[in-house]
Chain A
Amino acid sequence: MSWFMGVDIGSAHSKGVITRDSELAASHIIISGANYRTSAETIRTELVTKVNVTQSDIANTVATGSGADNVHFASQKASDIVCTARGINNVFPQARTVIDVASQSTRVIRLNEKGIVTNFTVSEKCAAGGGRFIEVIANVLRISLSDFSQLAARSRSPITFSTGCAVFGESEAITRISEGIPKEDIAAGVNKALASTISSLVKKLKLEEPCAVCGGGALNTALVKTIETELNTSLLIPPQPQLIAALGAAIIAATPPTSQSRKET
């Protein structure tokens, strides 16, 4: 019986999980902050405390995310695409497409029944392609991200953003507020804009059902509903969608090196 750890250092949040016999034993999420190395260490300390073991009890650790290099205690790095596919395959073995809505970008991944990536695409290097667009507008609306989804769900007539740029979108949202447009219509408008960017990414790759959604963006249920409408499908949502890549990393950590296909690493 061994413990394995997966650490996902993202641009906004750092996530970590510990697994035991392929089951999730503990998880921890913190804001990445300015020092990724400290964040990685905090996650390790919190995780081992939660399952009441010592650091030396962890058989193997795999790091992923844009800050993976800062996880000095990991034996190996794995790409976030591969980790997300593995993680989603663990929760939803039937999933053939996964949409990962992260802060900096959105990734759409096609995978087979073993969780092996067959194709993927990533949004352009633009804040309007990821959850950051929502953060920017939530800030203008002076509402927290956790309230964003509920607020957007109340809208009856979402606004249409005339721009595809988050910076110009911010100005547009300010203009709409000054015109007296209700906050919920602006919030729903951002969801609509992001959902439309995401669904064109999915269509580029061709949707193969069932499709799952993960990443912090999956917590925005109003966004998920809008994507479902755009794609005319229902999406599988894992219980803790932000942890999927970290979970995938832990699963890779538990996989003996010989059985990992060379293509994946």
Chain B
Amino acid sequence: MYFAGVDIGSTMTKVLLTDKSGNLLSTIKGPTGAEHRQLANEVMRQALQEANLQIDDISYIVATGYGRLNVPFADRQITELSCHARGVSSLFPSARTAIDIGGQDAKCMKIDNGRLTSFVMNDKCAAGTGRFLEVTATALGIKLEDMGEISLKAAKKIQISNLCTVFAQQEVVALLSRGEKLENIVAGLHDALAGRIAALARRLGVELDLVLTGGVAKNTGMVKAMKESLGCEILVPEEPLITGALGAAILAKEIYMKAVAAGEALPAKPRRLEKATFFSEEHQ
């Protein structure tokens, strides 16, 4: 008996397979990207290959994330908030607050007993999401994944005066040409984003333990800046990208077991791996 969680984020697509006891069999990540929107099935195929399974070996599949409605092979769609909460508390049972910073939004969640109790999120303004770092990294000519390392060398933080990502993009280039050190600018960018996320989290009220997830949690400089902004310790999973997919796989198992116990209808087989797109035909 095997279960799958598929998390289609704005930037990355994540697929995770578990067995009956919840052991991870494989996790595969691929960029969602503008041109890679049909990637869910490809990522799924790779995950199956790695676990040496066929699609019909999977008992139940839960899709989550921004693109969850367009995963044709999924049995159920569940919001990323519920999946993240479930995934985080399975990794850190002591977690009471989870902050997930993705490429398109930032979510702060309160968790009780593995369940989401309340949340606040920002998906209105790019300056409060990972996109802020993505855009400014491009402007600075550095890789997003190198930002953390670079910022740790900073002797000081340059304050970024513009809130808007579009204006900040211009500002960082101007700062560079004025001779400011790259690492100090990057540290300033982290500080600016961390300050905004911390303000969002305070609206919800931070309760410890606090877990940081999402692609931005892979940035050590951002984790440091978040600790400073919030003034508390932060737990980061080994693989901060996959908590949503993990939660989805756990929920898949729970739903399946409940259905079996209640004698309800189970997903029809055989399944087919089809192209997943973000915008199905009827939406056009």
A residues neighboring B (CB under 8 Å): 34, 104, 125-128, 132, 136, 163-168, 171, 174-175, 178-180
Q: Is the CB of B162 within 8 A of A125?
A: yes
Number of A-B residue pairs with CB-CB distance less than 8 Å in the complex they form: 49
Q: Known: A175-B278, A175-B279, A179-B284. Is A168-B164 also a contact (CB below 8 A)?
A: no
List which B102-136 residues lie within 8 A (CB) of chain A.
104, 124-127, 131, 135
Residue B166 at the chain A interface, CB threshold 8 Å: yes
Chain B positions within 8 Å of A163 at CB level: 124
Complex Cα–Cα for A3 and B165 (A):
42
A-B contact pairs, 19 of them (CB 8 A): A34-B174, A34-B177, A127-B164, A127-B166, A132-B167, A163-B124, A164-B124, A164-B125, A166-B164, A166-B166, A167-B165, A168-B104, A168-B126, A171-B10, A171-B34, A174-B34, A175-B278, A179-B284, A180-B284
Residue B204 at the chain A interface, CB threshold 8 Å: no
Chain A positions within 8 Å of B165 at CB level: 127, 165-167
Chain A positions within 8 Å of B34 at CB level: 171, 174-175, 178
In the assembled complex, how far is the CB of residue A169 from the closest CB belonging to chain B, in whole angstroms?
A: 9
Q: Which of B10, B131, B167, B279 contacts A127 (CB 8 A)?
A: B167
Of A34, A128, A165, A178, the most chain B CB neighbours within 10 A belong to A165
Q: Is the CB of B166 within 8 A of A167?
A: yes
Across the interface, name the chain B residue whose C-beta is closest to A164.
B124
Residue B273 at the chain A interface, CB threshold 8 Å: no
Chain B positions within 8 Å of A128 at CB level: 164
Residue B163 at the chain A interface, CB threshold 8 Å: yes
List which B129-153 residues lie within 8 A (CB) of chain A.
131, 135
Across the interface, name the chain A residue whose C-beta is closest to B165.
A167
List which B199-226 residues lie within 8 A (CB) of chain A.
none
In the assembled complex, how far is the CB of residue B159 from the closest CB belonging to chain A, in whole angstroms?
A: 14
Interface residue tally for chain B (C-beta within 8 Å) = 20
Q: Known: A104-B167, A174-B34, A178-B34. Is A165-B162 also a contact (CB below 8 A)?
A: no
Chain B positions within 8 Å of A136 at CB level: 166
Q: Which 5 A-B pairs have the closest CB atoms?
A: A167-B126, A127-B166, A167-B165, A126-B164, A127-B164
In the assembled complex, how far is the CB of residue A32 from the closest CB belonging to chain B, in whole angstroms?
A: 11
Complex Cα–Cα for A228 and B249 (A):
53
B residues neighboring A (CB under 8 Å): 10, 34, 104, 124-127, 131, 135, 162-167, 174, 177, 278-279, 284
State the majority secondary structure of interface residues on B: loop
Chain A positions within 8 Å of B278 at CB level: 175
State the majority secondary structure of interface residues on A: helix
Across the interface, name the chain A residue whose C-beta is closest to B170.
A11
Chain A positions within 8 Å of B125 at CB level: 126, 164-165
Across the interface, name the chain A residue whose C-beta is closest to B135.
A167
Chain A positions within 8 Å of B162 at CB level: 125
In the assembled complex, how far is the CB of residue A124 from the closest CB belonging to chain B, in whole angstroms?
A: 8
Q: Known: A104-B167, A126-B164. Is A167-B124 also a contact (CB below 8 A)?
A: no
Q: Which of B135, B164, B174, B279 contacts A125 (CB 8 A)?
A: B164
Complex Cα–Cα for A174 and B127 (A):
19
Of B126, B127, B135, B174, the most chain A CB neighbours within 10 A belong to B126
In the assembled complex, how far is the CB of residue A249 from the closest CB belonging to chain B, in whole angstroms?
A: 24
Complex Cα–Cα for A125 and B127 (A):
11
Complex Cα–Cα for A23 and B8 (A):
62
In the assembled complex, how far is the CB of residue B253 from the closest CB belonging to chain A, in whole angstroms?
A: 34
Complex Cα–Cα for A104 and B161 (A):
14
Chain B positions within 8 Å of A178 at CB level: 34
Across the interface, name the chain B residue whose C-beta is closest to A34.
B177
Q: Is the CB of A126 within 8 A of B177?
A: no
Chain A positions within 8 Å of B104 at CB level: 168
Chain B positions within 8 Å of A126 at CB level: 125, 163-164
Complex Cα–Cα for A128 and B164 (A):
9
Complex Cα–Cα for A210 and B138 (A):
45
Chain B positions within 8 Å of A179 at CB level: 279, 284
Chain B positions within 8 Å of A175 at CB level: 34, 278-279
Chain A positions within 8 Å of B127 at CB level: 165, 167
In the assembled complex, how far is the CB of residue B188 from the closest CB belonging to chain A, in whole angstroms?
A: 17
- Given A136-B166, A166-B165, 19 additional A-B pairs, CB 8 A: A34-B177, A104-B167, A125-B162, A127-B165, A128-B164, A132-B166, A132-B167, A163-B124, A164-B124, A165-B125, A165-B126, A165-B127, A166-B166, A167-B135, A168-B104, A168-B126, A175-B34, A175-B278, A179-B284
